[in-house]
A and B are shown apart, each in its own frame.
Chain A
Amino acid sequence: MKKVLAALLATAMALSLVACGGGNNSNGGGSSAGGGAGASDPAPSGGGDKTAIKVIAAEYGQNTKQWWADFQTEFNGSHDSIDLTVEVVSWNDIYTVVNTRVSNNDAPDILNIDVFADYVADDLLLPIQECVSPETYAKMYPAFLEQSNIDGTIWAIPDLASARAMYYNQDILDAAGVAVPTTWDELTEACKKIKEYDSTIYPWGIDMTTDEGQAAFAYYIWNNGSDFTDAEGNWTLNADKNVEAIEYAIGLYNAGYTNTDPATETRYNLQDLFGAGKLAMVIGPNSIPTYIADNYAKANTPEEEQINYAFAAIPSNGGNASVSAGVMDRFMVFDNEDSAEKIEAIKEFFDFFYEDTRYSNWVLMEGFLPATSAGGEIVAASDPSMAPWVEIVGSCKFYPTAKAEWADVKQGVIDVEQQALLGGNVKELLDALQAKIAG
């Protein structure tokens, strides 16, 4: 037994020696950039003739990692004086990773994420116009840039957008004998009929989880002609129309028209229920067709088992026009006391990224929507199914992410929704939240 132990220890020891060898090599051998190790000093420690840029990018789907890897090779190949490293982090973990690094003064140079106001509040960012060439900057939809405006300065540029619409399963609707609902009353009626037709089918999908509950909040209040804030930008979370909207959504749940547990069933679950034909209608992102094509249409599925679906505007209430919800992600540049060369290198990065063909490639890769007009044209031309979305995204509403309280509001409305699901009074809950946020 002594021998076994000794052998085991020896093997493990040998392995760990290899480990450090490997570790050191990849750190030291990572050209002059110093890999991820040269954290505190932006100037490269060895070699010294290359400007290192570190990017943290969010992982949108199965193709993101490869896309950035190719991008990095291509970029470094054509820019001799720049050493670009892109780290792709999954959405589940990106806040943890970024916050940990930022608190330790190890922020990336460029970050691709959804939020930005917190970093602005801490003076961590550079105004984006200082870091992007005027030509590239001019490519963005002005309305999108406005979403990153705090006190007159634009802090981030959009990298892509997605828009939401209502998806419906045509076969289920036909079988239940209902038309595509456009108003809330029609929606309730449709749910009722679908439930009568087949009680094992969920008529309507709702996601009020910690992941994305704020989206549900937005769908209902926006389509009830209300908003998070008034025209002056003051929070109006407990507006009567908001209370009415959330009560309506909770009412659908209480009537048994929705998926079983909106507080824990995320959009992933809903997507899959919809793809499997167990959910009749759901509000979802424009990436759903790509997703269904990749996973449900392809995978040896017989024709008759594939769902027959389409999308339409989100139903609205009280004669208000339907509002599509937009989600936009951004690039921002951290102020790491960069040298002029580094700023130039960052500009090069953006020029390269937003080069029209490459950019439309980026957007199409995971089925998102472009944030530049040139990109929009290319995408619409190359994929006719995307054309209506390019239209929609130009006119949709966004969360008030530029407001400092947004993070609190987001968690607050999710909590309100979940309390309401458990039987809480929507009015009282929203009053309390409004008092907490605005007071």
Chain B
Amino acid sequence: MSTKTPAAPTTKKTQQEPRLPNPQNKKLLRTIEPYIWIAPSIILMAIFIVTPIFKVFQLSMNRVTRAGKLKGFNNFENFTSVIKDPAFSIVLKNTILWTIAVVLISTLLGFILALILNNQFKGRKVARAIVVFPWATTLVIQASAWNFIINKDYGTLNTLLRTLHIIGKNASINFTPTPTAYFAWEIACGIFVTIPFVCFCVLSGLQSIDASYYEAATVDGAGYFQKLFSITLPLVKSSLTVSTVLNIIYVFNSFPIIWTMTKGDPANRTDTLVTYLYKLAFYNGKQGEASAVSVIGFIILLMCASVYMIYTLRKGDEEL
């Protein structure tokens, strides 16, 4: 890639002239060109995501029978009946708690882990490969495994504690005595599977930092944390932001962990919006209301995103 660069300056003038037969065309081309570049992506998303999204809006406005047939506009009844359900506020609260806890903690831990794995040390390759494990496992299985581990009656964690003589021979700890405890385990599982994602996003950002920055800073006598905050953080900011924003969306909409571990039981105490609407749609046969819930979830995310867009994106564009 570097072989061609030195020759560049000399050819500058001569090359440009013959390539511009018609300035008018060139201008037109320049205006359309970016759109051609983004077209494949737009087409792909328009067909496979936007169309289904329209369907969701349509379902949410209609009376939908249990078997899934549309029976006409019903005056936002789906929305009102969802909001009137006393379970809805519990579910909403859970969703917010779930999203914030998982995203915040996994981002923090993932970031630290990335800093550690970015060091040169023996076995780094193996360590990195191991960190990928939780990510490489289907969430359904991951959640089943955790459920299996923490089970009071035959869980391996109790067996481990017994073998290590931390608890008595016949004792077993009930790790999930209350719905809140169960929810905490689900959050822990969520964090466990999200860390690798954050970690590798940050790692990819760390890789592109030029080592000379650090050398210069060291010469200037900067300490570790000074370097961390003044060099590392600003430079991985872009990848960290991407991973956080997408994480919020993914975690908000995450389904398999909670579904596998508790199905939102008991009495919606561990439900989030997605498991709640799944039950509405496929257990209670209320497609319309389920779609209304997802539209509400969408609006919540959209509000968060617009705050982000207005604040960070504008600022970020100026910066870069």
A and B: direct contact (Cβ < 8 Å)?
A: yes
Residues of chain A within 8 A (CB-CB) of B170 are: 200
Given the interface pairs A209-B265, A260-B152, A408-B284, the reply to whether A121 lies near B66 with Cβ below 8 Å is yes
Interchain nearest-CB distance for A376 vs B (Å): 32
Given the interface pairs A121-B67, A211-B263, A407-B284, the reply to whether A260 lies near B174 with Cβ below 8 Å is yes
Q: Cβ of B68 < 8 Å from any Cβ of A?
A: yes
Given the interface pairs A210-B263, A407-B285, the reply to whether A103 lies near B269 with Cβ below 8 Å is no
Most chain-B CB neighbours within 10 Å: which of A103, A208, A407?
Answer: A103
Taking a contact as CB atoms under 8 Å apart, the answer to whether B267 and A422 are in contact is yes
Interchain nearest-CB distance for B175 vs A (Å): 10
Residues of chain B within 8 A (CB-CB) of A11 are: none
Residues of chain B within 8 A (CB-CB) of A124 are: 67, 69
CA distance A411 to B174 in the complex (A): 27
CA distance A211 to B279 in the complex (A): 11
Given the interface pairs A103-B67, A210-B263, the reply to whether A118 lies near B285 with Cβ below 8 Å is yes
Contacting residues of chain A (266-324) with chain B, CB-CB under 8 angstroms: 269, 272-273, 276, 278
CA distance A165 to B282 in the complex (A): 29
Residues of chain A within 8 A (CB-CB) of B266 are: 208, 263-264, 418-419, 421-422
CA distance A263 to B265 in the complex (A): 6
Contacting residues of chain A (405-439) with chain B, CB-CB under 8 angstroms: 407-408, 411, 415, 418-419, 421-422, 424
Residues of chain A within 8 A (CB-CB) of B65 are: 118, 121-122
CA distance A56 to B69 in the complex (A): 19
Q: Contact check: which of B66, B154, B285 meets A272 at CB < 8 Å?
A: B154
Q: Cβ of B182 < 8 Å from any Cβ of A?
A: yes
Taking a contact as CB atoms under 8 Å apart, the answer to whether B265 and A99 are in contact is no
Q: Cβ of B281 < 8 Å from any Cβ of A?
A: yes
Size class of B's contact patch?
Answer: 20 to 34
What are the interface flags for A102-119 relative to B under an 8 Å C-beta threshold, 1 for contact and 0 otherwise?
Answer: 110000000000000011
Residues of chain A within 8 A (CB-CB) of B69 are: 102-103, 122, 124
Of chain A, the residue at the smallest CB distance from B266 is A263
Residues of chain B within 8 A (CB-CB) of A421 are: 266-267
Q: Cβ of A95 < 8 Å from any Cβ of B?
A: yes
Q: Cβ of B153 < 8 Å from any Cβ of A?
A: yes
Q: Contact check: which of B67, B264, B265 meets A102 at CB < 8 Å?
A: B67
Q: Cβ of A78 < 8 Å from any Cβ of B?
A: no
Interchain nearest-CB distance for B289 vs A (Å): 12
Q: Contact check: which of A118, A208, A264, A415 meets B182 at CB < 8 Å?
A: A264
CA distance A124 to B67 in the complex (A): 9
Q: Cβ of A62 < 8 Å from any Cβ of B?
A: no
Taking a contact as CB atoms under 8 Å apart, the answer to whether A96 and B282 are in contact is yes
Size class of A's contact patch?
Answer: 35 or more
Taking a contact as CB atoms under 8 Å apart, the answer to whether B262 and A264 are in contact is yes
Contacting residues of chain B (150-198) with chain A, CB-CB under 8 angstroms: 151-154, 170, 174, 176, 179, 182
Contacting residues of chain B (53-70) with chain A, CB-CB under 8 angstroms: 65-69
Q: Cβ of B133 < 8 Å from any Cβ of A?
A: no
Residues of chain A within 8 A (CB-CB) of B176 are: 261, 264
Of chain B, the residue at the smallest CB distance from A125 is B67
Given the interface pairs A200-B170, A407-B285, A408-B284, the reply to whether A102 lies near B68 with Cβ below 8 Å is yes
Taking a contact as CB atoms under 8 Å apart, the answer to whether A99 and B285 are in contact is yes
What are the interface flags for A188-228 relative to B under an 8 Å C-beta threshold, 1 for contact and 0 otherwise?
Answer: 00000000000010000000111100000000000000000
Q: Cβ of B283 < 8 Å from any Cβ of A?
A: yes
Residues of chain B within 8 A (CB-CB) of A278 are: 153
Interchain nearest-CB distance for A418 vs B (Å): 4
Of chain A, the residue at the smallest CB distance from B64 is A103
CA distance A103 to B285 in the complex (A): 11
Taking a contact as CB atoms under 8 Å apart, the answer to whether B265 and A264 are in contact is yes
Residues of chain B within 8 A (CB-CB) of A263 are: 265-267
29 A-B residue pairings within 8 Å (CB atoms): A95-B283, A96-B282, A99-B68, A99-B281, A99-B282, A103-B69, A118-B67, A118-B285, A119-B67, A121-B66, A121-B67, A122-B67, A124-B67, A124-B69, A210-B279, A259-B153, A261-B176, A263-B265, A263-B266, A264-B176, A264-B262, A264-B263, A264-B265, A272-B154, A278-B153, A407-B66, A407-B285, A411-B283, A421-B266
With A99-B68, A102-B67, A118-B65 given, can you name 12 additional A-B contacts, CB distance below 8 Å?
Answer: A103-B67, A103-B69, A118-B66, A119-B67, A122-B67, A260-B174, A261-B152, A264-B176, A264-B262, A418-B265, A422-B267, A424-B267
